[in-house]
Structure 1
Amino acid sequence: MKKPAYILLAVLFACVAVVSSVLVDGNPYWILLLIVSVPGFLISVVLACTTGSKDGDIPFVGY
């Protein structure tokens, strides 16, 4: 995936986390969505930061 895709994915996870944290007062099951979205946000941010600036893709490390 390219760098803009990771940034958009991080924004999506952040929005889901904010909405679920607001709605957790009404229904406690929203905490499950919050538990899933926070690590997804962090992983997306790390992957967006590690992408190369030249081609905008994560460098292949190898097997």
Structure 2
Amino acid sequence: MGLIAEYGELLRKYYHLQTNTPEEMLEEIAIRRNCLQKGGKPDLNTAARLLLKDWQTGKIKL
């Protein structure tokens, strides 16, 4: 969770997050991006992949 820990404030602004810990931030991203498993549980793996894709493609700007 180095990216979230290092750039947490930037990610909070980009994704409009209300949480502070990396785990909670990833859960909130999963819910907002509709990355859910059966039963409505947040799919953290898919959310992490989407976060990395947004970062790599330049959607999240420094």
Fold-level similarity (TM above 0.5)? no
Higher RCO by CA contacts (8 Å cutoff, separation 6 or greater): 1
Return the index of the structure with the highest Cα Rg. Answer: 1
TM-score, with structure 1 as normaliser: 0.31
